[in-house]
Chains A and B, each alone.
Chain A
Amino acid sequence: MTISIERPTRELTDAEKRFVGWHMLVAIIALLVGSIFGPMQALQYSNVDLYQYLEPVIRSYYQGLTLHGVLNALVWTTFFIVGFTTLTTIKGLARPLSYPKVNWAGFWVMVVGLVTTAVPILLNQATVLYTFYPPLQASWAFYLGLTLVVVGSWVSGVGFFLTYRDWRRENPATRSPFIAFAGVLNMAMWQIATLGVAVEILTMLLPWSLGLIDATDPELARTYFWFTGHPLVYFWLLPAYISWYGMLPKQAGGKLFSDSLARLAFWLFLIVSVPVGFHHQFVDPGVPTAWKWIHATLTYSVFFPSMLTAFTVIASLEYAGRRRGGTGLVGWIRALPWKDPSVAAQLLAGILFLFGGIGGLTNASYNLNLIIHNTAWVPGHFHLTVATAVTLSFMGITYWLVPYITGKQLVSPRLALVQVWTWFVGMVIFSNAMHVLGLLGAPRRTPLGDAPYVPEEWNGHLLRTSIGGTILLVSVLIYGWIMLRTATGPKADPEDVPGIPIAESLRDPQLTPLWLDRFKPWLIAAGVLIVVAYGPQLWDQITGIQLNAPGWTPW
């Protein structure tokens, strides 16, 4: 029987807005600084070397690439996600954080970690890229800093869990509000996932960089790294999904099509995000083909919740479009509020994510990986996923979130639309060229402008990469300008300040089955699946550890 629940609402207090705001500030600065290097990489492909002008501060393409990867893929995402899901937790549960000091502690630990990581990178003592594969050896400060960033995010996560627990005690019969549920779930997944990299750094890389042990086992390090490395992409992606499922329908004038399937998709991400890491090691030595195949199968299963998402999100948008008067097979698409930069950003992000998904399925396809492993295809792929599905969605979110937390009005929504579309166009050009280069055999992470083996037929694609990168540079500069002007602008009339969009569900969430709203069984399932799919091979590699690869700093 339906229990009708009165759902309270509550706005964030000024202190809470400030807390979220600090995360956004760090995130956006990291995005702006990190994004300067991306186009420099892309221009290098056409022999335009802008790095020479940055000497002696930035000494090489690879140092810039390390900054680009760390700042954009790790710092921008992590700070945005912790800030954004703090907001969804507070707003969704309509209650304050139980222990705000815990969350503040998490933030400051992350900031200390960020600074500790940044110093050796800037001193060219950690030019190891954001995968930091040993035996490339960075300064100990780099590993320590990364550890602190992760630990800080754990502390924030604990703050979420305690808040959620208290809310659950206060509301035993209520279905958890979707945006809060999903943010807490993402943090739980993250805590499980980061165990891999935590073990890698604490048992191997940190003692090694401090001189306590002489050498590493690089293949074991890869296995630890990818235990974390793949769920990392879901840690980035799920907050975008929170917006697509739980906010975008409202912004577009509709409702969430299916609350129960939205939750099911998130649970599936919790249980299958982690035991898939060997699909990054398909062409590695030291891992038997049987385990690679098993992880290929599990990676295919993690594709399934994204197929669910495609339907549910598109149907929610179709519902919105039809309510706005759209008709026919595609008329509803045109009826969506494309003039709203926040909506346009997320719609365009979603469109490119469809292609990112296709590329991802290809990467996961066992032997198809022979064609594209470590080629330009891979950055081509993840610029559609993390750099567009995630980053462009996050940019779209900041178009209402930054005005909301600052009490300002977004400066020039029209310019914001230009920003959104230039990102889309730049990325289409860049990413398509990179995919093609990959199929032709161009390696990733390589200044191809200097490479002696580049054949004639790559040149056109290298040029397109540079053009796409340049358009993206324009886009990110516009974004920085809009954010700066918005944050420093005058306080707006409260009526002109956007609120937090929260999409209702077409059906009362109380009708969603209880098993889709309980953490315990799913956490147990996640643990069991990890033990089954990772346990034996991990055990073999750990018991067979050979610390025989000493460190090198060949940069």
Chain B
Amino acid sequence: MTAPPANAEPQKESMGIDPYERNWIRFSIVLLVVFLTAVTVAGFAMGFQVPGEEARVDPATITEAGPFANPGVRQIAPGEFEVYVVSRTFNFDPAEIVVPQGATVTIYVTSQDVQHGFKITDTNVNMQVVPGQVSKLTYTFDRVGEFPYICHEYCGIGHAAMFGRVRVVPPSEFEEAGA
């Protein structure tokens, strides 16, 4: 039989990490590094980016002057649009955004009162809407259809009714509508 060698001499202080656990530690680090690399590449090289710092506004005056005084869609170049959205209890202005298929749309959202949320279903557009701040994301609508944008931050008693929709229409239909 093999005598346990550890008992032969007085033991020293050590971490005493089991070899299996040591390998698990190494593996865990590798796994986390791989995942982090995957999201970093997606974020900074492939363009799946989160909102950042944009601009600040005064919630009291947004409806009087500046781009949020006239909420809605504007075409800024062929295939490129911008839309300013004002959120307030309990609706979005505009409540409908119509763009042609393939449109690249830059969405600016702010709030006139409390915090709201702006998430367009089936897309990666998701923003916290905070009074005093402008949230901004750019997204290209490649699929024809209706995509609701839903308020995802509790904003009061009518929160559940607060939504709007993006209608992505075929380019021909968009032209006919005379946009």
A interface residues (Cβ-Cβ under 8 A, vs B): 1-2, 60, 62, 65, 129, 133, 135-136, 217-219, 222, 257-258, 260-261, 264, 281-289, 292-293, 296-297, 300-301, 303-304, 307-308, 311-312, 315, 361, 365-371, 373-375, 440-441, 443-448, 450-453, 507-508, 510-514, 546, 548-550, 552, 554-555
Are B25 and A218 in contact (CB-based, < 8 A)?
no
User: Using Cβ atoms and an 8 Å threshold, which residues of chain B touch A373?
Assistant: 119, 126, 128, 152
Of B17, B40, B125, B135, the residue contacting A261 (CB under 8 A) is B17
Contact check, A367 vs B50: say whether CB atoms are below 8 A apart. yes
Q: Is the CB of B13 within 8 A of A513?
A: yes
Q: Which residues of B contact A (CB under 8 A)?
A: 10-18, 20-21, 24-25, 28-29, 32, 35-36, 39-40, 42-44, 48-54, 56, 58-60, 89-90, 113-115, 117, 119, 121-122, 124-136, 148, 150-161, 163
Q: Which residues of A contact B10 (CB under 8 A)?
A: 1-2
CA distance A30 to B155 in the complex (A): 26
A-B contact pairs, 23 of them (CB 8 A): A135-B114, A136-B156, A218-B133, A219-B130, A258-B18, A260-B17, A261-B21, A282-B50, A285-B53, A285-B133, A288-B52, A300-B35, A304-B28, A308-B25, A308-B28, A367-B49, A367-B50, A507-B16, A511-B13, A513-B15, A546-B132, A549-B131, A555-B156
Residues in B neighbouring A361, C-beta threshold 8 A = 35
- Identify B59's interface contact among A284, A440, A448, A549, CB under 8 A: A549
Establish whether residues A452 and B161, one from each chain, have CB atoms under 8 Å apart when the complex forms: yes
Question: What is the CA–CA distance of A232 and B51 in the complex, to the nearest angstrom?
Answer: 25
Known: A367-B124, A441-B148, A447-B160. 18 other contacts (CB 8 A): A1-B10, A260-B14, A283-B50, A285-B53, A292-B50, A296-B39, A300-B32, A304-B28, A311-B25, A368-B39, A370-B124, A374-B117, A374-B128, A441-B150, A443-B117, A446-B152, A451-B161, A452-B160
- Complex Cα–Cα for A240 and B89 (A): 40
Assess whether B50 is in contact with A135, with CB atoms less than 8 Å apart: no
Q: Which residue of B lies closest to A282 (CB)?
A: B50
B160 to chain A: closest CB distance in Å?
A: 4
Residue picked from B50, B114, B136, B156, most chain A C-beta under 10 Å: B50
Q: CB distance A293 to B117 under 8 Å?
A: no
Contact across chains for A546 and B56 when beta carbons are under 8 A apart: yes
Chain B residues contacting A261 (CB-CB under 8 Å) are 15, 17, 21
Instruction: Determine if B130 and A129 form an interchain contact, defined as CB atoms under 8 angstroms apart.
Output: no
Report Cα–Cα, A366/B50, bound state, in Å.
8
Q: How far is the CB of B154 from chain A (nearest CB, A)?
A: 5
Name the contact of A133 in the complex, choosing from B21, B51, B115, B133 (C-beta under 8 A). B115
> A452 contacts B35, CB within 8 Å?
no
* Inter-subunit contact B127/A283 (CB<8 Å): yes
Selected contact of B13 from candidates A288, A304, A374, A514, CB within 8 Å? A514
Residue in B closest to A289 when the chains form the complex, CB atoms: B52
Chain B CB within 10 Å — which of A65, A281, A368 has the most? Answer: A368
Best-buried of B32, B124, B152 by chain A (most CB within 10 Å): B152
Chain B interface secondary structure, helix, strand, loop or mixed?
loop
B153 in contact with A311 (CB, 8 Å): no
CA distance A448 to B154 in the complex (A): 12
Q: A283-B128, A293-B43 are in contact. Are A548 and B58 (CB under 8 A)?
A: yes
Contact of A62 with B130 at beta-carbon distance under 8 Å, contacts A297-B36, A453-B148 already known? no
**Residue among B21, B48, B135 making CB contact with A258, cutoff 8 Å:** B21
Contact status B128-A552, CB under 8 Å: no
- Report whether B126 and A370 are in contact in the complex, using a CB–CB cutoff of 8 Å: yes
Q: Which one, A217, A257, A366, A450, contacts B161 given CB within 8 A?
A: A450
How many angstroms between the C-alpha atoms of A260 and B115 in the bound complex?
Answer: 45
B114 touches A554 (CB 8 A): yes
Q: Which residue of A lies closest to B42 (CB)?
A: A367
CA distance A511 to B131 in the complex (A): 56
Report the separation of the CA atoms of residues A452 and B151 in the bound assembly, to the nearest whole angstrom.
12
Residues of B within 8 A of A292 (CB): 50, 52
Measured between C-beta atoms, what is the minimum distance from A454 to chain B in Å? Answer: 9
With beta carbons under 8 angstroms apart, the residue of A60, A366, A450, A554 that contacts B89 is A554
- Which residue in B43, B151, B160 is a CB contact (below 8 Å) of A367? B43
Task: Quote the shortest CB–CB distance from B38 to chain A (angstroms).
Answer: 8
Query: Which of A289, A443, A552, A554 touches B152 (beta carbons < 8 Å)?
Result: A443
Which 5 pairs show the lowest CB-CB distances between chains A and B? A554-B156, A443-B152, A285-B133, A374-B152, A307-B28
Cβ of B128 to closest chain A Cβ, rounded Å: 5
Shortest distance in angstroms between A98's beta carbon and chain B's nearest beta carbon? 29
Q: CB within 8 A of B132: which of A219, A260, A311, A508?
A: A219
Flag if B39 contacts A367 (CB, 8 Å): yes
B26 to chain A, nearest CB (A): 11
The answer to whether A285 touches B134, judged by C-beta atoms less than 8 angstroms apart, is yes
Q: Is the CB of A548 within 8 A of B28?
A: no
Give the docked Cα–Cα distance between A157 and B86 (Å): 46
Is B126 within 8 A of A452, CB to CB? no
Residues on the A chain within 8 Å of B155, using CB: 136, 554
**In the bound complex, how far is the Cα of B155 from the Cα of A283, in angstroms?**
17
Residue among A217, A366, A441 making CB contact with B119, cutoff 8 Å: A441
A208 CB to closest chain B CB (Å) equals 14
